[in-house]
C-alpha cells in the first residue's frame, strides 16, 4: 500500500533573500480524514442525485484523488528564472 507524503519542503531564493519552510503534512492528514468521513454521506447523496445524468463516478472520485496524492512521494519541482530566482518544492 502506498503511503502519502509526510513532509513538503518549499525553498524560494532570489538575489536578496533566501526563504525555506518545512510543512509537516502528517499533521494535516488527520484533519482531512475527519472532514472526508464527515462529508461522505453528502457525497453519496450527491452521487445518487446525479446518477441519472451519468456523473456519479465524477462525484465519487475520492479514492482516485488519494492514489494521486500517494504517488507524489519523491516529487521535486525546481523552477529557475533567468535572473537567479528559483523556487524548489520537494515532497518526501
Looking at the domain assignment, is residue 58 inside a domain? Answer: yes
Residue 1 lies in a domain: no
For residue range 55-81, list pLDDT tens digits in order. Answer: 777 767 767 777 777 788 888 989 888
- The range of the structural domain enclosing residue 75 comes to 7-91
Q: What is the DSSP letter of 74?
A: T
For the chain, list the strands marked E by DSSP: 7-13, 18-24, 76-80, 86-91
> How many structural domains comprise the chain?
1
Q: Print burial letters for 11-27: b (CB count within 10 Å at least 16), e (below 16).
A: eeeeeeeeeeeeeebee
Residue 64 in any domain: the answer is: yes
Per-residue pLDDT reduced to its tens digit, 5-28: 888 899 988 888 888 999 898 888
For residue 25, is it within any domain?
yes
Amino acid at each position: 500500500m502506498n503511503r502519502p507524503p509526510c513532509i513538503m519542503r518549499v525553498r524560494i531564493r532570489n538575489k536578496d533573500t533566501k526563504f525555506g519552510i518545512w510543512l509537516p503534512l502528517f499533521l494535516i492528514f488527520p484533519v482531512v480524514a475527519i472532514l472526508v468521513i464527515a462529508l461522505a454521506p453528502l457525497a453519496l447523496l450527491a452521487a445518487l442525485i446525479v446518477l441519472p445524468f451519468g456523473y456519479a463516478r465524477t462525484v465519487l472520485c475520492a479514492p482516485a484523488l488519494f492514489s494521486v496524492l500517494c504517488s507524489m512521494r519523491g516529487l521535486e519541482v525546481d523552477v529557475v528564472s533567468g535572473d537567479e530566482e528559483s523556487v524548489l518544492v520537494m515532497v518526501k
